[in-house]
Amino acid sequence: MAWVYYWKLVDSKFQATCLAARFEDAEGWLYRRVPRYVGVFRTRRGKYGIKVLW
């Protein structure tokens, strides 16, 4: 398995955490299946993003 990085970078960790919560939602907000792990990462420039492990 490989990480899938969501394409959108956001400015704050709070925004990234809210976006990660949508990925973890059992109703499948973005996708029909629920991922095994959803994590928040920080880029070198200070932006935040989401990484997903299916």
Condensed to tens digits (0 to 9), the pLDDT of residues 9-41 reads 999 999 999 988 887 775 655 566 677 888 999
Residue 27: per-residue pLDDT? 60
3 contacts 40 by C-beta, under 8 angstroms:
no
Residue 45: per-residue pLDDT? 94
Q: How many domains does the chain have?
A: 1
Closest CA to 37 of 22, 27, 52: 52
pLDDT at 1 over 80: no
Residue 40: per-residue pLDDT? 94
Which amino acid appears at position 38 of this protein? V
Per-residue tokens: 22: 């949508």
Q: What is the mean pLDDT of residues 36-54?
A: 90
Which structural domain range is residue 9 located in? 3-53
**What pTM, to 2 d.p., does this model score?**
0.76
Cα Rg of the chain, angstroms: 11
Residue, of 52 and 46, whose pLDDT is higher: 46
Q: Would you say how long the chain is, in residues?
A: 54
Q: Which residue has the tokens 């976006």?
A: 19
